[in-house]
Amino acid sequence: MTAANRARAADWLDRLWARGRRFLGTERAIMGGAMTWVSERNLVAAISNGGGFGVIACGSMNPAQLDAEIAATKALTAKPFGVNLITLHPELLDLVDVCTRQGVSHVVLAGALPPAPAVARVKQSGAKLLCFAPALAIAKKLVRMGADAIIIEGMEAGGHIGPVSTGVLAQEILPHISEVPVFVAGGIGHGAAIVSYLEMGAAGVQLGTRFVCAHESIAHPKFKQAFIRAAARDAVPSIQLDSRFPVIPVRALANEGTRAFLEKQRSVIERFVQGKLSQKDAQLEIERFWVGALRRAVIDGDIEAGSLMAGQSVGMVTREQSTKDILDELVAQAIDALLARAGLAGEGERSAELRSRAEA
């Protein structure tokens, strides 16, 4: 009876995210968030091989570097994967051309509102276009521009964030966008949350932080340990001290670097007030503080002065696992949530599962 119930719940889950699976061409409608320095060939291929959808984080790569990264990813997986491009990249159109030549099936344009020429070039290539929408009005505009799918990402996410939570964005956008699939991201770390958003109308989800500590992730062991030790409250947005000097909010684990950034802002503002710095030079000095800091943390393991970009779901990262185990665990949790909703999971079954997880 239990096996039959779980099979029914698995079928239920397949129906819930069927649209997302069809769109991505995957077994599971779980996208890997594009994390600079982390979402490279090894992790991307592992996510796709595990039934999810890996996404290369192009970041500041030049066209030749992206071309090599796509080719290297293809050598590791025959499954679909995508490429995330930053809309403010100075060589954006050239990067789109690289994706076209390599036959990339899905292109994600992230950052500011995507320029029309980039949208047109992606569409001409035959690739499916995904865009981020921080509000309903922008989601509708992106659909009119030609986006084939929308990603909504709340402020619980790691890295650059907006001002609105995932739960609020989902309520605002999901009931009103039906023309294209919508994927939800930001703070998702458990299968029960995945089910909740699917039931609200999402086609699938995107997770980044949960995959940082995958065995296949090339992140430095010290970087991974920082994630494993962290609680949700440790992932905080960067603080802006003076409205004259805007700071793009970035969510990361608090460390000596974040405290030094506050001191840097205070020092720069003081010198500006004293007339020792122009406003432009002061702004540049603040902006340059974090240059290279993410690579120092992820690759070199400098977890004190580097940038530990992490979403609030970091509290659910408790150990290093294989990528497939993470995906399997999320799916098992989603099935458990569906069984509980249907009243099919008895107390004895739940207790046995809890004991099994505790012993694992």
Two tokens, residue 270: 């003081």
Q: Based on the fold, state whether residues 188 and 281 are members of the same structural domain.
A: no
* Residue 352 falls inside a structural domain: no
* Residue 294 falls inside a structural domain: yes
Residue 348 has pLDDT above 60, yes or no: no
Q: Based on the fold, state whether residues 250 and 172 are members of the same structural domain.
A: no
Q: Give the gyration radius of the chain's Cα atoms.
A: 21
Q: Sorting pLDDT into bands at 50, 70 and 90, what band is 353?
A: very low
Residue 257 has pLDDT above 60, yes or no: yes
Q: Sorting pLDDT into bands at 50, 70 and 90, what band is 356?
A: very low
* Residue 225 falls inside a structural domain: no
What is the tally of structural domains in the chain?
2
What pLDDT does 344 receive? 67
Q: Averaged over 64-90, what is the pLDDT? A: 98
* Residue 81 falls inside a structural domain: yes
* Residue 360 falls inside a structural domain: no
Residue 176 has pLDDT above 70, yes or no: yes
Residue 350 has pLDDT above 90, yes or no: no
Output the 3-class SS for 139-156.
HHHHHHHCCCEEEEECCC
The CATH number given to whatever domain includes residue 50 is 3.20.20.70
Structural domain ending residue among the three candidates 309, 332, 354: 309
Residue 360 has pLDDT above 80, yes or no: no
Q: Based on the fold, state whether residues 269 and 122 are members of the same structural domain.
A: no
Q: Based on the fold, state whether residues 145 and 176 are members of the same structural domain.
A: yes
Q: Based on the fold, state whether residues 199 and 338 are members of the same structural domain.
A: yes
Which residue from 73, 37, 32, 35 is spatially nearest to 51, judged by alpha carbons?
Answer: 32
Q: Averaged over 285-290, what is the pLDDT? A: 94
Residue 230 has pLDDT above 50, yes or no: yes
Q: Averaged over 118-122, what is the pLDDT? A: 98
Which pTM value belongs to this model? 0.92
Q: Averaged over 218-233, what is the pLDDT? A: 98
Q: Sorting pLDDT into bands at 50, 70 and 90, what band is 357?
A: very low
* Residue 10 falls inside a structural domain: yes
Q: Based on the fold, state whether residues 91 and 197 are members of the same structural domain.
A: yes
Phi-psi region of 121 (alpha: psi -120 to 50; beta: other; left: phi over 0): alpha
Q: Averaged over 17-33, what is the pLDDT? A: 98
Q: Based on the fold, state whether residues 328 and 304 are members of the same structural domain.
A: no
**Burial (Cβ within 10 Å: 0-12, 13-18, ≥19) of residue 39:** buried
Q: Sorting pLDDT into bands at 50, 70 and 90, what band is 342?
A: confident
**Is 298:274 a contact under the CB 8 Å cutoff?**
no
Residue 351 has pLDDT above 60, yes or no: no
Q: What is the pLDDT of residues 292-306, one digit of tens each?
A: 999 999 999 999 999
Single-letter amino acid, residue 314: V
Residue 347 has pLDDT above 80, yes or no: no
Residue 354 has pLDDT above 50, yes or no: no
What pLDDT does 345 receive? 53
Q: Based on the fold, state whether residues 179 and 49 are members of the same structural domain.
A: yes
Q: Based on the fold, state whether residues 337 and 280 are members of the same structural domain.
A: no
Q: Sorting pLDDT into bands at 50, 70 and 90, what band is 341?
A: confident
Q: Averaged over 122-128, what is the pLDDT? A: 97
What pLDDT does 2 receive? 84
State the residue range of the domain holding 81. Answer: 2-218+318-345
- How far apart, in Å, do the first and last CA atoms of the chain sit? 25
Other C-beta atoms lying within 10 Å of the C-beta of residue 223: 26
* Residue 255 falls inside a structural domain: yes
Q: Distance (Å, rounded) from C-alpha 185 to C-alpha 187?
A: 7
Q: Distance (Å, rounded) from C-alpha 47 to C-alpha 54?
A: 5
Q: Based on the fold, state whether residues 50 and 115 are members of the same structural domain.
A: yes
* Residue 30 falls inside a structural domain: yes
Q: Sorting pLDDT into bands at 50, 70 and 90, what band is 343?
A: confident
Q: Based on the fold, state whether residues 105 and 126 are members of the same structural domain.
A: yes
Q: What is the mean pLDDT of the chain?
A: 94
Q: Sorting pLDDT into bands at 50, 70 and 90, what band is 358?
A: very low
Q: Based on the fold, state whether residues 244 and 334 are members of the same structural domain.
A: no
Lowest mean pLDDT among 95-109, 157-171, 259-273, 330-344: 330-344
DSSP alpha helix (H) spans, the chain: 2-16, 18-24, 41-49, 63-74, 92-101, 116-125, 136-145, 166-173, 191-200, 221-229, 256-273, 279-287, 293-298, 323-341, 347-359
Single-letter amino acid, residue 332: A
